[in-house]
Structure 1
Amino acid sequence: MTNASSRETFGSRLGFILSAAGAAVGLGNIWGFPTQAASNGGGAFLLVYLVLILVVAYPMLVVEMSIGRYGQANPVDSMRSLTTNALGKRVGGAVGWLGLSVPSAVLAFYSIVGGWLICYLLGAITDIIGLQTATAWFKGFSVERNAFGTLVFYVLTILIVQGGIKEGIEKWSTRLMPALFILFAVLFVYIMMQDGSMEGLQHYLIPDFDKIWDKQLILAAMGQGFFSLTIGGCSMLIYGSYLSKKENLPKMAMNVTLVDTAVAFVAGLVVMPAMFVAMKHGVTIYGPNGALLSSDTLVFTVLPMMFDSLGLLGQLFAVVFFLLLTIAALTSSISMLECPVALVGERFNTRRTPTSWVLGGAIAIFSMVIVYHFASLFGVVAMVSTQYLQPFAALMFCVFGGWVWNRNQKFKELSSGFETFRTSLFGRIWPWYVRFVCPLTVTAIIWASFT
């Protein structure tokens, strides 16, 4: 196990917040959240989502980050450090390996989607220049194009991770995350100037209170909040291990939660009005029964059709939109690759650069297999990793954090940087909340995915 004193840490609070929020901010926020909101009554979904983020996802984020900071190591060794019992250590190690399988499996399919975004970005640029053949290739769905996009996405991810925490992940997160917000602001102003946007904004911001108690809506919002903050995805555990002991951990976790939720909220502000603008231009989005026709193609079909219908300015904003999505995907993928890189580097004392390329290359090979057998593998890998592996890993982190981890050591860890933890309202509620409420909630999410 790594010597904690020699372990690299984030250089600043802002660096940590933007890096951890970047890990959480991904296609789940910008693609998944607006799609879920559009499918589940707009404003009603938004309201339920905001409540569940605070009462379910945030307390679990504190668990993961505190386990990482206490263990000062990769997920496997951090989980083993929670107990002195020999059997407990073995089970903890197994939970760590389970947790580690999540980012590796997610990265295998996520990078393919990241590759599509890069291809659409390049296609939007060649469209403006007038290179029609190249545009058709970039926007088509050939195996060669998918393989090209995926490999470019991996190269970008590996180049950032090989730089380490301060010079790689923190340096790029503090540049990419503000860029994300600036691009969003530009897009929002542009979309709101189009006909039909106000209708979309009302649909998004004004809740239909009759729908708030709908079981499907509540489960969808719970699942979305859960995946939005990458609970059970190991990224927060590994980033927590790089967090200084001087920092107030619950406060840092709250900052990450707020930034992540802000991105999801702003994504809805852009995408929902854009959908209504697209409808004004004759694009069919909802079926006769009011259900969203194509949740998976919203980003790749509906919005590009809207941009195309708005002339040259629309094409320029298509470039902005896909650049924004590529940035969001990259800030997540670097945290996914960091998990196995940290484990191998700490266990075998290997140098970061070759470790990043070897492990990134190994997962890239798996992605290539998926690309070449797309129809049979992509959906299965995505479903297994997000619906089964991730919630189950989150449940086990919760059980270990709530029941196995020694209460005094846990309180000591959370009091580090937060001296009044034991006497604070958070300190009184959180320990029992993590023992009872959080495991029941995660079990409900797992149960819902089977029914």
Structure 2
Amino acid sequence: MNARGEFSSRLGFILAAAGSAVGLGNIWGFPTQVASNGGAAFVLVYIVLAFLLAYPVLMAELIIGRATRANMVDALGQISGSKLGRATGVWGFITVSLILAFYAIVAGWMLAFFLETVTHFFALDTLSNWLTSQSIFRNLVFSGAFLILTAAIVTGGVSKGIERWSVRLMPTLMIIIVLLIGYVSLQDGAIEGWKAYLVPDFSRIMDPGLLINAMGQAFFSMSLGVGTMLVYGSYVSKNERLPSLGASVALVDIGVAVLAGMLIIPSMYVALHNGVQIFSENGALIEGDSLIFTVLPALFDTMGSVGIFVAFAFFALMVIAALTSSISMLEVPVAYVVESKGVKRTKAVWLLAICVFVASSIIIFNFSSLFGLVISLTTKYSQPLLGLALCIFAGWVWRRNHILTELRKGDEEVEHSLFWKIWPWYVKFICPVVIFIMFYRSVTG
């Protein structure tokens, strides 16, 4: 039997869990959502919905994880006492593995562009062109390299791998963001970006589209539904007060998303000032991979010699953000294989990393037909439905007295807290309805 790990400190858990939540979506998705949905009005709605919708689901995962001290499959099996619970856990296992498969491809691009800043500095033009040009071989090499980085960290276990690296990577990520914000804000055109980001358009605050987008961003930005927070919760000490711990994770995640907006939106308007196109043909701000791999590199090119160093810092930031998320994603299937199948951690990590790489390779060889499809199936359909299932397990299947017993281990007076007066009913009635509406709207458009 493999001994279970545990986070050695409260800070270690907060940084690891926040690192799981802080991914590429926060840095390229959130800022353009803000700029396209009423600026600061969207930020306010997002913050409110993050605590009204995402935080309750986050708490459900943390409580289930710590109470059962198990991976997602065994945990849901324990609290439900049924095969349906275990089947839901397997569904989460498969979903997170598929998410990691396409995530590794995108993170591989980040890694390639990061290395290109070095080859460009040394005028290695042929290598630079290969690193920034789409090819099957390049994608295979760098998705594989990224998965090796991820696996190398996860083999160290909870405290010596995930926690040790999270407490180094997350502060580094914060420092790079702040330094880049400072530099970009001094450039011509940045003030227009700050206006687009911070000046609220309150006429849009009740726009159904804005509300749905904000709900989706709040839910997905905390990496909920696929078991990452449940597994991390299973490594938390029984002495910790879970409600405040969950709130800390939510605050750090929201903080990084807001900081990312302070970097990306002014950067785009600096690019516009420098002659780079930042709007698509329909007048919307360019987002996603076009923003990261076309607009911003074009901006860095207009900055002269300092642009190389800015590009180096930016793509280092993107690689770190990707890595803090990928280690939590890989830990979900690893925890299951180690605990339920009795496989040694190191062997389980590398076997699963190879399986994910095979899935990534299949996507790479069939990129046009599979890449978008896998993203839609996992993030648009599977993830919200898994979040809905977790709410049903926590609100309807698991007995309230068992939940209260678990929470009391970290806080004897939790029964009299505002959290306990609201959360059980909220996760039972409100969250399932809101998540279902969000899912329905996202599917029907």
TM class, shorter-chain normalised?
A: over 0.9
Task: Note the residue ranges of structure 1 that are not aligned, 5 or more in a row.
Answer: none
Query: SS where residue 81 of structure 1 aligns?
Result: helix
8 Å contact kept, 1:285–1:292: yes
Equivalent in the alignment of 1:21: 18
Residue 146 of structure 1 is matched in structure 2 by: 139
For normalisation by structure 2, the TM-score amounts to 0.98
2:379 matched to which residue of 1? 386
User: Map of 1:209-224 to 2, 5 A cutoff?
Assistant: 209-224=202-217
1-structure distance, mates of 2:89, 2:146: 27
Q: Distance in 2 between matches of 1:158 and 1:24?
A: 18
Decide whether the 8 Å contact of 2:98 with 2:359 is kept in 1.
Answer: no
Q: Which residue of the other structure, out of 102, 113, 121, is the alignment partner of 1:120?
A: 113
TM-align CA RMSD: 1.2
Distance 2:90 2:110 in 1: 30
1:188 alignment counterpart: 181
Shift of residue 65 of structure 1? 0.8
Q: 1:271 maps to which residue?
A: 264
Aligned residue for 2:221?
Answer: 228
Contact 2:28 2:287 in 1 (8 A): no
Q: Does 1:377 align with 2:370?
A: yes
Maintained 8 Å contact 1:102/1:234 = no
Question: More deviation in 91-100 or 261-270?
Answer: 91-100
Would the alpha carbon gap of residues 294 and 72 (structure 1) be closer, same or farther in structure 2, given more than 3 Å must change? closer
Structure 1 residues 352, 260: CA separation in 2 closer, same or farther (over 3 Å shift)?
A: same
Structure 1 CA distance for aligned equivalents of residues 36 and 223 of structure 2: 22
| 1:35 positional shift | 2.1
Displacement of 1:288: 6.1
Structure-2 residue corresponding to 1:367:
360
C-alpha distance in 1 between matches for 2:301 and 2:23: 25
Match of 1:158 in 2: 151
Q: Please say if residues 128 and 312 of structure 1, whose CA atoms lie closer than 8 Å, have aligned partners that are also in contact.
A: no
- The answer on whether the counterparts of 2:38 and 2:202 sit within 8 Å (CA) in structure 1 is no
Could you tell me how far 1:302 is from its partner in structure 2?
0.6
Out of 82, 99, 103, the residue aligned to residue 110 of structure 1 is 103
The structure 2 residue matched to 1:168, chosen from 154, 161, 168, is 161
Using structure 1 for the length normalisation, give the TM-score. 0.96
Q: Which runs of 5+ in 2 are unaligned?
A: none
1:440 is aligned to: 433
Compute the displacement of 1:54 (Å): 1.1
Q: Which residue identity lines up with residue 141 of structure 1 in the other structure? A: Q
2:37 paired with 1:44: no
**Residue 427 of structure 1: which of 420, 433, 439 is its match?**
420
2:304 is the counterpart of 1:311: yes
SS in 2 for 1:422: helix
4+ long deviations beyond 6 Å: none
**Identity within the alignment, %:** 49
**Alignment partner of 1:347 is 2:340:** yes
* Residues 1:410 and 2:403 are matched in the alignment: yes
Tell me if the contact between 2:32 and 2:287 (Cα under 8 Å) persists in the aligned partners. Answer: no
Q: Does the C-alpha gap of structure 1 residues 136 and 332 become closer, same or farther in structure 2, counting only changes over 3 Å?
A: same
Distance 2:130 2:443 in 1: 38
How much has 1:287 moved relative to structure 2? 4.0
Q: Does structure 1 conserve the Cα–Cα contact (< 8 Å) formed by 2:29 and 2:287?
A: no
Aligned residue in 2 for 1:243: 236
Tell whether the 8 Å contact from 1:35 to 1:298 is kept in structure 2 after alignment: no
